[in-house]
Amino acid sequence: MSERGRQMSGEKTRAIPKKKKTIWRILWAQKILILMSVPWLLHRLLFSYFPLYGWLMAFQRFRPQFSIWNQDWVGLEHFRMITTGAIAPRFWNAVVNTLGQSTLSLAIGTVAAIILSLLLNEVRQIGAKRVIQNILYLPYFLSMVIIALLAADALSIGGIINQLLMSLRIIESPVLFLGEARYFWGIVAGVNLWRNLGWNTIIYLAAMTSIDPELYEAADVDGANRYQKMWRITLPCIKPTIIILLIMNLGWILNAGFELQWFLGNGMNMSRSEILDIFILRFGIEMGNFSLATAAGMLRTFVAIALVLTANFIAKLLGQERLI
């Protein structure tokens, strides 16, 4: 092609304007995915965001017989009552119990799930691996009411826990575990571990399947054993997944449950069993003080958001995967 022809071809190429990828073009290109997400978005708006107008009750002296727009406004009175008023000691005790039970359950559950996932990943017989996984998944599908009843029976004077500890000569006489407050956090963590351990391994095992097999082959050539491959290859490869799950779980750190504490709690262990949800039920809903219950719920939400943002910021500073 002559020099003149190349110049004309270049001019024509430059003359063709490139289409801008505007937001509307992107939305139109992904219209099928957007249509598929519409039901979920409507559900989220209807049940998660629309009810937020009820937070106005926290700043009112709410009376159910009147409309929410026709109430007496009291400002931050309920927040002051919770944090510095007569019921403040009970509230802060509930906060400590909630944080303690959730943190203990999260720490033990995360470590145990990672260890179990590493062990299951080393099982080469597919049939045996599936049987083990199915057995471990079963408790997750039981109702928390049933689990609480099973735990209460196992921890009773004649329960299997006392019998086992006595047969091992760890204790000399039966212990009323639910009658002593100091055992309650450990009981909650143990029951949650038994129920959720198998289910929590699913995501870690899925992350392990995405690891490049050539890394293990190279480690075999270098003479690494199974434990060295776990420590040097598997754990570093699933570290982003571990961090993301920890950040997400921090958003639920003030949600320690309800059924387990409600059914296993009693007057003897109330100092360690009363969590925020039970506090809100007793001092808010049962006493008809819906404004107080709303204020306590708002405080819990704000603290949970702050914890997630803080954990995400720390992960960013450390150069790790983050949620936002």
Confidence (pLDDT) at 312 = 80
As a three-state string, the secondary structure of the chain is: CCHHHHHHHHHHHHHCCCCCCCHHHHHHHCHHHHHHHHHHHHHHHHHHHHHHHHHHHHHEECCCCCCCCCCEECCCHHHHHHHHCCCHHHHHHHHHHHHHHHHHHHHHHHHHHHHHHHHHHCCCCHHHHHHHHHHHHHHHHCCHHHHHHHHHHHCCCCCHHHHHHHHCCCCCCCCCHHHCHHHHHHHHHHHHHHHHHHHHHHHHHHHHHCCCHHHHHHHHHCCCCHHHHHHHHHHHHHHHHHHHHHHHHHCCCCCCCCHHHHHHCCCCCHHHHCCHHHHHHHHHHCCCCHHHHHHHHHHHHHHHHHHHHHHHHHHHHCCCCCCC
Predicted confidence at residue 20, as pLDDT, reads 58
Phi, psi of 142 (to 5 degrees): -85, 145
Q: Residue 107 carries which side chain, given as an amino acid letter?
A: A
CA distance 161 to 171: 11
- What is the CA 87 to chain-centroid distance, rounded? 28
* pLDDT by residue, tens only, the chain of 324 residues: 555 555 555 554 554 455 556 788 888 888 898 899 999 999 999 998 898 888 999 999 998 888 888 889 999 999 999 999 889 999 999 999 999 999 999 999 999 999 999 999 888 888 888 899 889 999 999 999 999 999 999 999 989 999 999 999 998 899 999 999 999 999 999 999 999 999 999 999 999 988 988 998 899 898 888 888 999 999 999 998 898 888 888 888 888 889 999 999 998 999 999 999 999 999 888 888 899 999 998 998 888 888 888 888 887 777 766 666
Q: CATH number of 87-317: 1.10.260.40, 1.10.3720.10, 1.25.40.340, 3.40.50.720?
A: 1.10.3720.10
Please report the pLDDT score of residue 3 as a whole number. 56
As a whole number of Å, the CA-based R_g of the chain is 28
Q: So what's the pLDDT on residue 250?
A: 83
Q: Contact at 8 Å (CB) between 275 and 104?
A: no
pLDDT at 256: 83
Q: Rounded to whole angstroms, what are the CA distances from 275 to 221, 250, 262?
A: 53, 17, 9
Q: Where in the chain is the domain with CATH 1.10.3720.10?
A: 87-317
Determine the residue type at 171: I
Q: Name the residue among 297, 303, 299, 267 with its Cα closest to residue 285.
A: 297
- Residue 324: what pLDDT? 64
Q: How far apart are CA 266 and CA 274, in angstroms?
A: 9
Say what angle helices 290-317 and 235-250 make with each other, to 10 degrees.
150
Distance CA 110, CA 241 (A): 12
